[in-house]
């Protein structure tokens, strides 16, 4: 267990070592146990987390606010459009000033080719840890919660387990790349057989693929890219079909949506779940487009772990805040 994580930024799990990730997981499980037993754990009493949102949120805001309250601190919500951030406050000023008001700064900014850069500029100017609540490239707390959920179902030794991270159709909006990119980066570090299944127009960033390939090599797992929806499901232990935009093909939302319509049959339904292992679990970061991205029978069925996954967001976030904001 690592005990020297005070002040560390969490922008991507790729910048944390395996030992540090395991420390987060162990603390998350311990805090989840304390929550279940009603044991107080106000390790951040009188601490303040500034939460800066450039993008709408349900689970992220609720889980960070609840988590800080349970840790004995306070979460301060700031919406970019209703503050001077929309009229000239720079990333440097945000880092300098909010870093003096609070003990941690959490930011959600998914604007393509802007979000991650903005978060890093704030972090460079801040005297307190900066936590990435989701950017255009990464969603670290979501995938930490996903890993907690997988361990709860399959144990700590995940070597040889197969996870299929797949694109799925949606008609709502062109979702960020951050979840699939963070998933392939983290899951390849645990000796798993990681599949990325997507239509050719829905590629991830080349440097992410390169890093995931290297992670798999180091962990003695595997990483492969498929373009057949059914092949991705076949024999998988964990299936994680969700939509993302064709950001590397086009930055035009209408064009991306038109491309997606060619793959409207990429829906996770009972037939597709039947291709996976009998014990397979279905995961999704939510919100999911019901009847389009996933069938009700799947997301509400016995294979689904989406509510455990959503709960584990809070526990993973509490662990990182407890370790970095002390």
Q: From the DSSP assignment, how many helices (H) and strands (E) are in the chain?
A: 12, 9
| Beta-ladder partners of 74 | 48
Enclosing H/E stretch for 95: helix 91-101
Q: Phi/psi at 163 (nearest 5 deg)? A: -115, 130
Q: How far apart are CA 324 and CA 326, in angstroms?
A: 6
Query: Domains in the chain and their CATH numbers?
Result: 13-139+313-324 (3.40.50.1370), 142-309 (3.40.50.1370)
Average pLDDT taken over every residue of the chain: 97
Residue 102 predicted with pLDDT over 90: yes
Q: Is the pLDDT of residue 185 over 90?
A: yes
Please give the pLDDT value at position 219. Answer: 98
pLDDT in tens, 235-286: 999 999 999 999 999 988 889 889 999 999 999 999 999 999 999 999 999 9
Q: Is the pLDDT of residue 171 over 90?
A: no
Q: Supply the pLDDT for residue 90.
A: 97
| CB 137 within 8 Å of CB 162 | no
Q: Is the model's pLDDT at 130 over the cut of 90?
A: yes
Residues composing the chain: 326
What would you measure as the largest C-alpha separation in the chain, in angstroms? Answer: 54
Q: What is the pLDDT of residues 13-38, one digit of tens each?
A: 999 999 999 999 999 999 999 999 99
% residues pLDDT > 70 (the chain): 100
Task: Give the strand pairing for 48-53 and 74-79.
Answer: parallel
Interval 118-127 mean pLDDT: 98
User: Would you say residue 173 has pLDDT above 90?
Assistant: no
pLDDT in tens, 282-300: 999 999 999 999 999 999 9
Alpha-carbon distance of 67 to 57, in angstroms, equals: 15
The rounded distance, in Å, linking the Cα atoms of 261 and 264 is 5
Q: Residue 160 and residue 277: Cα distance in Å, rounded?
A: 13
pTM check: above 0.85: yes
């Amino acid at each position: 267990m690592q005990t020297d994580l005070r002040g560390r930024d969490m922008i991507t799990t790729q910048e944390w070592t395996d030992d540090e990730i395991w420390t987060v997981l162990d603390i998350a499980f311990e805090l989840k146990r304390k929550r279940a037993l009603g044991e107080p754990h106000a390790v951040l009493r009188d601490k303040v987390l500034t939460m800066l949102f450039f993008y709408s949120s349900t689970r992220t805001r609720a889980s960070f606010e609840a988590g800080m309250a349970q840790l004995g601190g306070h979460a301060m919500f700031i919406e970019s459009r209703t503050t001077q951030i929309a009229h000239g406050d720079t990333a440097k000023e945000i880092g300098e000033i909010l870093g003096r008001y609070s003990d941690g700064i959490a930011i959600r900014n998914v604007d393509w080719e802007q979000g991650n850069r903005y978060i890093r500029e704030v972090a460079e100017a801040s005297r307190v840890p900066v936590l990435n609540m989701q950017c255009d490239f990464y969603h670290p707390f979501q995938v930490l919660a996903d890993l907690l959920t997988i361990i709860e179902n399959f144990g700590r030794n995940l070597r040889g387990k197969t996870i299929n991270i797949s694109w799925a159709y949606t008609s709502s909006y062109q979702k960020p790349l951050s979840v699939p990119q963070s998933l392939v980066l983290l899951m390849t570090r645990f000796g798993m057989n990681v599949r990325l299944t997507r239509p050719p127009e829905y590629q991830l960033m080349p440097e992410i693929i390169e890093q995931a390939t290297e992670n798999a090599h180091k962990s003695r797992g595997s990483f492969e890219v498929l373009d057949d929806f059914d092949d991705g499901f076949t024999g998988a232990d964990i299936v994680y079909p969700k939509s993302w935009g064709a950001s590397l093909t086009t930055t035009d939302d209408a064009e991306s949506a038109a491309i997606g319509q060619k793959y409207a049959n990429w829906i996770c339904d009972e037939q597709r779940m039947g291709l996976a292992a009998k014990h397979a679990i279905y995961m999704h970061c939510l919100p999911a487009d019901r009847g389009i991205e996933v069938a009700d029978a799947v997301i509400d069925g016995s294979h689904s772990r989406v509510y455990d996954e959503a709960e584990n967001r809070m526990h993973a976030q509490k662990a990182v805040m407890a370790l970095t904001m002390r």
